[in-house]
Chain A
Amino acid sequence: MAKISLEKVKHSYLAQPAEPEDYALKQIDAEWQDGGAYALLGPSGCGKTTLLNIISGLLVPSLGRVLFNDTDVTKIPTTDRHIAQVFQFPVVYDTMSVFDNLAFPLRNRGIAEAKVQERVQEIAGMLDLEHSLRRRASGLTVDGKQKISLGRGLVRDDVNVIMFDEPLTVIDPHLKWQLRSKLKELHKRLGLTMIYVTHDQTEALTFADQVVVMYDGTVVQAGTPVELFEHPNHTFVGHFIGSPGMNILPCEVENGTVRCAGHTVQTASSGRPRADARKTEIGVRPEFVRFDDHGFPVEIVKVDDLGRYRIVEVRYADQRVKMIVNEDLAIPSETPRISFDPAATRIYADGWVVN
């Protein structure tokens, strides 16, 4: 087991990368503490798989270093890194039985047969595979095959980290929920480092203690779910996490005064955006927008009643703002006005927060 650090890692799939756009990973500095449960969250194509493959050694980064417990492993082959990785789509060895599939990573490392038996039985029990151990792996359903893939990842107990690359995409929702809780439980019991890749925020937030959000080849923010919710560093994080996502509204900043379509807004950002910023915006979550007679006038577009609260969409100028209104609060019918909670409203310059 080890702490894993990435130092200035960049990766391009091209032979001669020139533009920043040529890089699948732009520059990553990250640290994964021993025993942590991490989620790697980001949209499709942002470089999540690339990052995992660099940690596991399937890819050598174009630039930068990978450290395990402060030893440089950048050039060390996968087999010597003691890593388990589960891929998005099931990989099974068709000609072998389920048992042999699960035993494969152990036998390849010359583990004693008694220990193999014990480990395989344990993992099979956990994944409900006991009854199909003797069957040929090729005969299983997609669910079953993905369980085998998961099982092969979990069967070794000497690994530095187990990485799951969207392992539950192909699995039906009910089983998905079960397996996710099993993984969580296993993390608690064994204390292994786990990195769980997903582009589903609920999955990330329920699994992980620490969430790392990636966007377009960079890590935009890493932190606990609460931190990501309360202090998004980047408009992408605000937008991606939370349901509905953060409102991002264009604004002008002049001498410290922030104006949205002519209305002055108070924010928690005390700094000023850089003078060369191409766009300035404010970000405020729907939870922190409220009806307020001293606010600025808006027009109500739509109300969605979700029981305990309502999602109200309002409009001013050509901007739409979503707000969450508790069921016990009335929605004004005439001349509604809104304001933003200054403590939870921040300025973003070119996407990045201004503190």
Chain B
Amino acid sequence: MTKTTNQKAWYFVVPVVGLVAFNALIPLMTVVNYSVQETFGDNVFFWEGVKWFEEVLKSERFHASFLRQLAFTGMILAIEVPLGIGVALSMPRKGPWVSVCLVLMALPLLIPWNVVGAMWNIFALPDIGLLGRGINALGIDYNFTQQPVAAWMTTVLMDVWHWTSLVVLLAYAGLCSIPDAYYQAAKIDGASAWSVFRRIQLPKLKRVLTIAILLRFMDSFMIYTEPFVLTGGGPGNTTTFLSIDLVKIALGQFDLGPAAAMSLIYFLAVLLVCWIFYTLMMRNEEQ
């Protein structure tokens, strides 16, 4: 057999390479470029090496927003994943209510981020918002624009409201794909409801949950619009998450060098966590 060595097909890939270069590679390299130089405007740059990286990694401000970010992501994952599984488990598997439930679940996902932020802002205002007034009417002093705890709770609640559906839909799809025979076998074997969950449903949900957790991790770790519209990072700096801080440094203070270094660290952190998590989850798959 003779193999033809016609390599012209590669030309078909050129447009895609060009596009990716244009919208991903070039901006990324610009950031890398900024992160190792100092500029005072006028397109004049001075080589700074890893100075910005050292500065960012040592800065308390970065540590604080990084920790806030971790706490936020941890909290919403700890709420959304179990809640999502719970809702998915209690949704009907067949009948006319299936589509009603699915549509209801999908609704929050269709609302743009800034609208969600604005909605919750108004909803939670202590003087005119339904939620804010309601809580105050119960005799609890609640004002998310001034109390850090209230601001945190509102932000977390907003994220839970917006994104639990994603976990629900993924988990529901996973549950629907479990063949009936598994449930029948479990009944024959006398398994309890908990055993069914622990031994059948959870293992079968592993793949979709891995995806759900990764998506929610990445999304929440990079969250910007919703808390920005809701609290603006306040009161004080209490809800200033990483990306809000980044924008403050880059655009507010116009410190392009440190902001670029911070972006890269941020990016690597997301990548690292995703990689570790994925490797751990898939470790046993290939045995």
Contact = CB atoms under 8 A, between A and B. Distances in A.
B181 A105 contact: no
A58 B182 CA distance: 12
A139 interface: yes
Interface residues of A, number: 28
A66 to B, nearest CB: 16
Interface stretch (A24-32, A86-94, A329-337, A346-354): A86-94
A95 B185 CA distance: 16
Nearest to A139: B287
B199 A108 contact: no
Interface residues of B, number: 18
A79 B287 contact: no
A93 B181 contact: no
B5 interface: no
B264 to A, nearest CB: 39
B188 A95 contact: no
Given A91-B182, A108-B195, A138-B287, A83 B203 contact: no
B43 interface: no
A85 B188 contact: yes
Most chain A beta-carbon contacts within 10 A, residue among B179, B190, B192, B199: B190
B184 interface: yes
Interface in A53-104: 53, 56-58, 77-79, 83-85, 87-89, 91, 93-96, 104
B191 interface: yes
Contacts of A87: 181, 184-185
A180 interface: no
Contacts of B204: 94
Given A58-B184, A87-B185, A93 B190 contact: no
B200 interface: yes
Nearest to A95: B203
A79 B195 CA distance: 14
Nearest to B195: A108
Contacts of B188: 56, 58, 78, 83-85, 105, 153
B189 interface: yes
A104 B287 contact: no
B232 to A, nearest CB: 46
B285 to A, nearest CB: 9
B287 A93 contact: no
A119 interface: no
Interface string B191-227: 1100100011001100000000000000000000000
Contacts of A78: 187-188
Most chain A beta-carbon contacts within 10 A, residue among B182, B185, B189, B192: B189
A149 interface: yes
A53 B181 CA distance: 11
Contacts of A93: 199-200, 203
A104 B184 CA distance: 14
A136 interface: yes
Interface string A98-119: 0000001100110000000000
Contacts of A88: 181
A152 interface: yes
A83 to B, nearest CB: 7
Given A85-B188, A105-B188, A109-B190, A94 B181 contact: no
Contacts of A56: 188
Nearest to A104: B189
B29 to A, nearest CB: 44
Interface of B: 179, 181-182, 184-185, 187-192, 195, 199-200, 203-204, 284, 287
Q: Across chains A and B, which 6 residue pairs bring their CB atoms closest together, nearest first?
A: A108-B190, A91-B185, A105-B189, A78-B187, A93-B199, A139-B287
Interface of A: 53, 56-58, 77-79, 83-85, 87-89, 91, 93-96, 104-105, 108-109, 136, 138-139, 149, 152-153
11 contacts: A56-B188, A78-B187, A78-B188, A83-B188, A85-B184, A87-B185, A94-B204, A108-B195, A138-B287, A139-B287, A153-B188
Given A77-B187, A104-B189, A152-B185, 9 more contacts: A58-B184, A79-B187, A85-B184, A85-B188, A87-B185, A93-B203, A136-B284, A138-B287, A153-B188
